[in-house]
Amino acid sequence: MNEHFFSDMSVMLGRSMRHIMRSMDTIFTVCITPIAMMLLFVYVFGGAIQSGTDNYVNYLLPGILLIAIASGIAYTSYRLFLDKQKGIIERFHSMPISRSAVLWGHVLTSLVSNAISLVIIIAVALIMGFRSSAGVLPWLAVAGILILFTLALTWVATIAGLSAKSVEGASAFSYPLIFLPFISSAFVPTDSMPSVVRAFADNQPVTSIVETIRALLSNQPVGNDIWVALAWCVGILIVAYLFAVRAYRRKAA
Can you give the residue range of the structural domain that contains 81?
5-252
What percentage of the chain reaches a pLDDT higher than 70?
A: 87
CA 82-83-84 angle, to 5 degrees, is 90
Count Cβ neighbours within 10 Å for each residue of 56-75 and write b for 16 or more, e otherwise. bbbbbbbbbbbbbbbbbbbb
pLDDT band at 164 (very low <50, low <70, confident <90, very high): confident
Nearest CA to 187 out of 163, 206, 203 is that of 206
Q: d(Cα 239, Cα 223) in Å, to the nearest integer?
A: 26
pLDDT band at 92 (very low <50, low <70, confident <90, very high): low
Q: In this predicted structure, which of 27-41, 87-101, 108-122 has the lowest mean pLDDT?
A: 87-101
Q: In this predicted structure, which of 56-60, 124-128, 172-176 has the lowest mean pLDDT?
A: 172-176
Q: In 10 A of CB 21, how many CB atoms?
A: 10
Q: d(Cα 86, Cα 225) in Å, to the nearest integer?
A: 44
Name the domain count of the chain.
1
pLDDT band at 239 (very low <50, low <70, confident <90, very high): very high
Q: Quick: pLDDT tens for 122-155.
A: 999 999 999 998 889 999 999 999 999 999 999 9
Nearest CA to 80 out of 100, 108, 106 is that of 106
